[in-house]
Amino acid sequence: MPLYKLSPSQLTFAWDECPRCFYLDVVLGIKRPATAFPKVFSRIDSLMKHLFADKPTSALSPDLPPGRVMAQGKWINSAPIAFDGLDASCYLKGAFDSVLEFDDGTFAVIDFKTSSPSPAHVAFYGRQLSAYAYALEHPSEKGLRISPISKLGLLYLDPVDIEHGADHKRITYGGEVTWQEIPKDEDGFLAFMRGVLTLLSQPEPPSAPESCGFCAYREEARRHGL
């Protein structure tokens, strides 16, 4: 039975954009060309982590139970995920943004986003957060264990204004911070993972969707014998 490594982030954009590209990457190691990722977003993410390091949960949102920011940027490694009747199995490996520890002894996995809140993000980023939570509660033999996890959520920074300093040497951005809780649903996550492993168990990649520019580019090259 093949055992594939999946990162939690692969279960968002990579899965939604093109199942064929997802299959080619995971099963055959054929990766899409790298696309540019603006450095500013990584910088903002790093600053957010630094800002909230070791802070009480009330600094993130008054809606959170009492506790503190416990860990940031640590790696997870899950036990294998397998289902009867499927040839493929997988394990999850990646690094989460932050974990909160509540005073009642439970934990939360959260992610920082530089964007506006959206209801569509609940299911989309919920897969990624659920993958981190699953790996922390079901780690490999040497994986990090943090349990029980009672909450998942996104902390948004939505830039809304800008100020120029009096000395003209500094520009300050202002943003609105919003907490969006994501329901924790391990059964739903495993049902999703069954669909992922069903795809990866196929002997051939699925057909290319019309919306995938990468697949269209490859097909055009084949037509020209390239």
122: three-class secondary structure by DSSP: helix
What pLDDT, on a 0 to 100 scale, did the predictor assign at position 152?
A: 98
What is the predicted pLDDT for the residue at 95? Answer: 96
Q: How far apart are CA 117 and CA 114, in angstroms?
A: 9
CA distance 211 to 213: 6
pLDDT tens, position by position, for the chain (226 residues)?
Answer: 799 999 999 999 899 999 999 999 999 999 988 776 778 888 888 888 999 999 999 999 999 999 999 999 999 999 999 999 999 999 999 999 999 999 999 999 999 998 888 888 899 999 999 999 999 999 999 999 999 999 999 999 988 898 888 887 888 888 899 999 999 999 999 999 999 999 999 999 999 888 998 888 888 888 888 6
pLDDT of residue 21: 95
Query: Residue 84: its pLDDT value, please?
Result: 96
Is the N-terminal amide bond of 148 cis, ω within 30° of 0? Answer: yes
Do 196 and 15 contact (CB within 8 A), yes or no? yes
Side chain identity at 182, as an amino acid letter?
I
Whole-number Å distance between alpha carbons of 36 and 34: 7
Domain positions in the chain are 3-223
Question: What is the CATH topology of the domain spanning 3-223?
Answer: Lambda Exonuclease; Chain A (3.90.320)
